[in-house]
Chain A
Amino acid sequence: MDASVIEVKYALDTFYFLVMGAFVMLMAAGFAMLEAGLVRSKNTAEILTKNIVLYAVACTMYLVCGYSLMYPAEASGLLWPGLPSILGGTDHGVEGVLASSGETYYSGLSDFFFQAVFVAAAMSVVSGAVAERMKLWAFLAFAVVMTGFIYPIEGYWKWGGGYLDSKGFLDFAGSGVVHMTGAVAALFGVLLLGARKGKYGADGRINPLPGANLPLATLGTFLLWFGWFGFNGGSELKLSDVGEANAVALVFVNTNAAAAGGCISALIIARLLFGKADLTMVLNGALAGLVAITAEPLTPTPLIATMIGAVGGLIVVISIITLDRLKIDDPVGAISVHGSAGIWGLLAVCFTNDDATLGAQLLGIGMIFGWVAITSGIVWYVLKVTVGIRVSEEEEAEGVDIGECGLEAYPEFVRT
């Protein structure tokens, strides 16, 4: 290849990583708005604080140690990647790139940037499930461990060339590595935290605690849908030739199709089960469709992708209702959207990708689930018995905005 072509492709593929990374970064805004819309007004400022700070913590911990744990120099097929190191500022030089004949095709720092926004997304899943009753600082302490250690290790197992990768486990953009991981950490947080006061009644009654701002929740969902083009599209990892460009285009189309399928199926199921169009279920449905296709957005046809998303929409509605029946209180449906639909997504890979085996997918699901369950369970438990993870009853009643942040999200709105 001509030297200038190599350089332009390097620049294009680097640019691609950076722009797709920026798309995924916008998902942080999506999570923030979605969660802010589905909690009560007295708890809104606190969840916004959690969302923006966890993003900052994730980026920092990943820079300090997480990235180097997840992507050691050699793919080794192991369980343990080696020792971490802090991200440096150097990158590939022109001579090295040209000498590699284009094998080295993107900036190392652009890869860090692209990967960093993924760990932030995984951590963000947790914030919604534990909303309205968790101590802010305990949550942030958990975020430090999750983004600096728990996520990088299981991420290494697949994307860093570790054990799961060597066993043939497939996860294109992270239904397991990102979404199921976040959901499992959320689940164990919720199990140790308990339900919100007044959520479950004595005789098996489930009391709704409606969200304060559905326009924000909807905006958040659209932002997440938009950002997901970067999440899945960017995970093709390359753009600069006809084959890759076509692949990226198909990934975008399938991602979009799955979201649409999940949205519609959730709408229909909600209508059948509840008699009316529950917007919050529709929003969760679109997201579940996106989570489901994330494991394999390249090999399905667009129609199959739509159906994969539609099944995700069905699963998420049933999962939300089931968790409530089990008294597992998840204010935004995060465990269902990212966990239940994530597991479905990982299994659905077998339908469209000939390289996938049910055994490898189950191995991946089991190992990631087990690792995150044990490590997050330990961290939540240690936090619970040392500093405590739940706010006091009075603070929960007054709203964590006052208790944890000292301010109100909607100070001029009279409470009814």
Chain B
Amino acid sequence: MKLITAIIKPFKLDDAREALSEIGIQGLTVTEVKGFGRQKGHTELYRGAEYVVDFLPKSKLEIAINDEQVDAVIDAIKASTSSGKIGDGKIFVTTLVEVVRIRTGESGAAAL
């Protein structure tokens, strides 16, 4: 089992969600986060005082899937959220050791 963590531009969230729905992904978690990569921030003025907008808003998707679905999910996210411009984001794939469905107590692949 794998956990896909995708950091994407917030306005691409709906597109990503639709694309994942189309390939049969039935659950995901979204968090609003801030971050920067090589995109960096920019400087603004508030009442004449300078401040650096270092951290840019992003959306973080977390999706727990079977190993077989990894490539399809990565492709779906890439296709739906890519703009070609700097700041599109990243996808991380990590190994899930265990998954449990709280309501029924199922675990493993059955809980996905």
Contacts and interface: CB of A to CB of B under 8 A. Distances in A.
A256 interface: no
B45 interface: yes
A276 interface: yes
Contacts of A274: 45, 48
Nearest to A38: B47
B84 to A, nearest CB: 28
Interface in B18-50: 32, 34, 44-50
Contacts, number: 35
Contacts of A280: 46-47
Contacts of B49: 206-208, 324
A281 interface: yes
Contacts of A281: 47
A278 B45 contact: yes
Interface in A203-217: 206-208, 210
Nearest to A206: B49
B51 interface: yes
Contact of B47 (A275, A320, A416): A320
A207 B34 CA distance: 20
A321 interface: yes
A333 B51 CA distance: 19
A70 B52 CA distance: 50
A273 interface: yes
Contacts of B51: 207-208, 210
| Max chain A C-beta neighbours (<10 A), residue from B32, B45, B47, B49 | B47
Nearest to A275: B45
Nearest to A320: B47
A211 to B, nearest CB: 9
Interface residues of B, number: 10
Contacts of B48: 206, 273-274, 320-321, 324
Nearest to B31: A414
A278 B46 contact: yes
A416 B57 CA distance: 10
Main secondary structure of the interface of B (DSSP, over half): strand
Contacts of B47: 208, 278, 280-281, 320-321, 324, 333
Contacts of B34: 416
A275 B42 CA distance: 14
A208 B44 CA distance: 10
Q: Which of B32, B45, B48 has the most CB of A within 10 A?
A: B48
Contacts of A210: 46, 51
Which of A208, A278, A280 has most B Cβ within 10 Å? A208
A324 to B, nearest CB: 7
Nearest to B48: A321
Contacts of A320: 47-48
Nearest to A317: B48
A36 B44 CA distance: 22
A210 B50 CA distance: 11
A276 B45 contact: yes
B81 to A, nearest CB: 22
Query: Interface centre among B34, B45, B49, by most A CB within 10 Å?
Result: B49
Nearest to B57: A416
A206 B49 CA distance: 6
Nearest to A273: B48
A208 B43 CA distance: 12
A273 B34 CA distance: 29
A273 B32 CA distance: 34
Interface in B45-83: 45-51
A278 B49 CA distance: 11
Nearest to B33: A416
6 contacts: A206-B49, A207-B51, A208-B49, A210-B51, A276-B45, A324-B48
Given A208-B47, A276-B44, A278-B47, 12 more contacts: A206-B48, A206-B49, A207-B49, A207-B51, A208-B45, A208-B49, A320-B48, A321-B47, A321-B48, A333-B47, A416-B32, A416-B34
6 A-B pairs with the lowest CB-CB distances in the bound complex, closest first: A208-B46, A206-B49, A208-B49, A274-B45, A321-B48, A208-B51
